[in-house]
Amino acid sequence: MVRRPALLRPTLPKPPAVLTTLPGRFTSRLHDERVASWLGIALGVSILVSFGTGLVSHFMQQPAGWMLWPSRPVNLYRVTQGVHVIGGLATVPLLLAKLWTVYPKLWQWPPVRSIVHGVERALVFVLVGAALFQFVTGVLNIGYWYAFRFYFTTAHYWTAYILFGALLIHVANEWSKARRTVMTRPQDAVGRRGFLLTVAAASGVVALTTVGEAFTPLARLAVLAPRRPGDGPQGVPVNKSAAATGVTSAARDPGWRLTVTGRVARPVTLSLADLRALPQHTARLPISCVEGWSVEANWRGVRLRDVLRMAGVAGDARVRVESLEPYGLYRTSRVDAPHWRDPLTLLALGLNGEPLDLDHGYPCRLIAPNRPGVMQTKWVHRLVVL
């Protein structure tokens, strides 16, 4: 063996022994560009869908001042949020498979070959970190496990932009390589097809066992869903009960009154008997929770617009609906003109043929089309015209 002069030896430090032996341990040939490319394409599409539907849902729940959402189609929010949550869950197997496929790259040596390569690698860490953060917080949130200290909505919302940005850069970097890979015929058969089909099947199973939380005909399959149609009083699930919010005695008080105040021509005060004496209407509308579950129900009560017109409210007014609930993020909600003028928007007194259950908002709750569940305020006692 010829010994090379010291000067010509590579100047790089020798990698730690564990790294030189590791690549030999990644024996599966599925750690492979083709598998990574196909999984990457599927992930890219599903993350974009999650991002788009998430933005729609976010701005329906927290509209900027200038935003006016339409009240139709009735099920728009139900669909966007259902796709967001159920699609997001079905994406988890894709993400795990992709990470498994590419993780040998974590041990590449040298770790950084150039500045550009270093920046690219750092961005991959941002991408993976943001994706994991979104999936973990999303799953914990719909599982009612508030293990994190930060406010979920804000963190999930801002991280979405980081994820989206990192994804765009990653796609730009990998585009031509992935394109070349999936366009050429594979030379060898290493079981890629079987692996990808297994991952797709895992996604499908996750989707099938949760979609029933929003799509009632499949409710019986929804074994993974935290809420199912049919659970709960009057066949509708309950997130926050009257006892949990401390409204029980105020809601049962015969002295309860609904008042309309603020910028009104004449203030209005109505007892429950007064409300029952007004024209009653029926609407079949869903409760569509941000957590992905949704249930259609038959609501009966007074049109919100009838009550607001009794008070002489201007046609473009903005209304705040207030609950008896003393504290809590969801004790009030904003109702803009497209929603309060919609004949389907009710101050509901009844649900599925019975008087409203205490846990569904007795004596009176808001129910409106195309609106997040958190804004369907329960135990209403005041309408403030802004």
Ligand X SMILES: Nc1nc2c(c(=O)[nH]1)N[C@H]1C(S)=C(S)[C@@H](COP(=O)(O)O)O[C@H]1N2
State the helix-helix crossing angle for 76-102 and 33-61, rounded to 10 degrees: 150
Q: Is 63 an interacting residue with respect to ligand X (CB under 6 A)? A: no
CA dist., res. 351 & res. 287, Å (int): 12
How many residues bind ligand X, per CB under 6 A? 20
Token duo for residue 292: 């992905």
Shortest Cβ 52–ligand X spacing (Å)? 22
- Residue of 289, 297, 313, 344 interacting with Mo ion (CB under 5 A): 289
Sole binder of ligand X in the list 84, 300, 339, 360 (CB under 6 A): 360
Q: Which residue, 140 or 374, is less far from Mo ion as judged by CB?
A: 374
144 half-sphere exposure, CB direction, 13 A CA radius = 8
Which among 204, 206, 227, 203 is positioned nearest to 216, based on CA atoms?
Answer: 227
- Strand, helix or coil for residue 258: strand
373 binds Mo ion (CB under 5 A): yes
Site string for ligand X, 246-285 (x = CB under 6 A): ----------------------------------------
Which one of ligand X, Mo ion, none interacts with residue 236, CB within 5 to 8 A by kind? ligand X
Instruction: Return the residue of 35, 238, 264, 268 that touches ligand X, per CB under 6 A.
Output: 238
> What value, to the nearest 5°, has the Cα angle with vertex 148 and ends 142 and 151?
80
In terms of CB distance, is 218 or 374 closer to ligand X?
374
Q: How far is the CB of 286 from Mo ion (least distance, A)?
A: 12
The answer to whether residue 331 forms part of the interface with ligand X (CB under 6 A) is: yes
Burial 46-74 (b: 16+ CB within 10 A, else e): bbebbbebbbbbbebbeeeeeeebebeeb
> Do residues 231 and 222 touch, judged by C-beta distance below 8 A?
no
The region of 13-21, 87-95, 143-151, 374-382 touching ligand X under the rule CB under 6 A is 374-382
Residue 44 or 373 having the CB closest to Mo ion: 373
Cis peptide before 338 (omega within 30 of 0): no
Give the separation between CA 101 and CA 94, rounded to whole angstroms: 10
Binding site for ligand X (CB under 6 A): 236-240, 245, 287, 289, 323, 325, 328, 330-331, 360, 373-374, 376-379
Q: Which residues bind Mo ion (CB under 5 A)?
A: 239, 289, 373-374
